[in-house]
Chain A
């Protein structure tokens, strides 16, 4: 297994944890009856629960880009020290992103997001050159 694939697995585990955190916070806010209902009326989470929900959705988007970068790099045998470092950087940024979002500190979350996004971008370039 390449380093990138190991990191991808860890990133997927992170998403499982993020889902659990969001689910627990959401259930505590609106109650399990609403959470398990058909949600015909949109449920609007506020505070930390809303932030965890948006962090989860953002990571789905980031993860699909990262997954493609990892698989393209791995399948085309182009794993280098650079792509491996980028993969670890991505994971570190996405872990830090969650508390940064919940804290609500303006700018911090966006700066951390940019690190993960940039790492993914460099992996695509690494796969193409």
Chain B
């Protein structure tokens, strides 16, 4: 899976896919007309549609954290084998996270989430641990 930047682009694509899945699930639940309306009195989504909505929100938060870490490492040129591994672990964990959320598997979902946030935390650690880039 190439470089950390590639993985970031792939994660962006994953979020795009989650958006599409969430829209499709919501459409199945409330109908296209409700989605196209201005949603002034939209009822909360339930079941898989609601789970995908929450998984999407969580994925956006994860991206807000993961994105800067990768960009700092790439910009400074301080990526290592370990940071690539962490980025790969993050991507795999986030794919599994969405599946676990949609399937409604408790506890395991949280463990998977922890892998993702742990990998992200490691990337930030690597930002500080790496030798400063040559001026």
A positions within 8 Å CB-CB of B: 46-47, 50-51, 54, 61, 64-65, 67-69, 71-72, 75-76, 101, 104, 106-107, 109-110, 117, 120-121, 124-125, 127-128
In the bound complex, do residue A121 and residue B67 qualify as a contact, i.e. CB atoms below 8 Å apart?
A: no
Stretch from B34-42, B81-89, B96-104 that touches the partner: B34-42
- The residues of B that contact A117 with a CB separation of less than 8 Å are 16, 19
- The residues of B that contact A61 with a CB separation of less than 8 Å are 60
* Chain A binding surface SS class: helix
* Chain B binding surface SS class: helix
B positions within 8 Å CB-CB of A: 5-6, 8-13, 15-16, 19, 33, 35-40, 60, 63-64, 67, 71, 74-75
In the bound complex, do residue B38 and residue A46 qualify as a contact, i.e. CB atoms below 8 Å apart?
A: no
In the bound complex, do residue B16 and residue A71 qualify as a contact, i.e. CB atoms below 8 Å apart?
A: no
A60 to B134, CA, bound (A): 35
A71 to B39, CA, bound (A): 33
A120 to B12, CA, bound (A): 9
In the bound complex, do residue A68 and residue B67 qualify as a contact, i.e. CB atoms below 8 Å apart?
A: yes
A68 to B11, CA, bound (A): 10
In the bound complex, do residue A51 and residue B40 qualify as a contact, i.e. CB atoms below 8 Å apart?
A: yes
Supply 18 further A-B pairs (C-beta < 8 A) apart from A64-B63, A68-B63, A104-B40. Answer: A50-B40, A51-B38, A51-B40, A68-B9, A68-B12, A72-B5, A72-B12, A75-B71, A101-B38, A104-B37, A106-B36, A107-B36, A109-B36, A117-B19, A121-B16, A124-B9, A124-B13, A128-B10
In the bound complex, do residue B5 and residue A124 qualify as a contact, i.e. CB atoms below 8 Å apart?
A: no
In the bound complex, do residue A65 and residue B75 qualify as a contact, i.e. CB atoms below 8 Å apart?
A: no
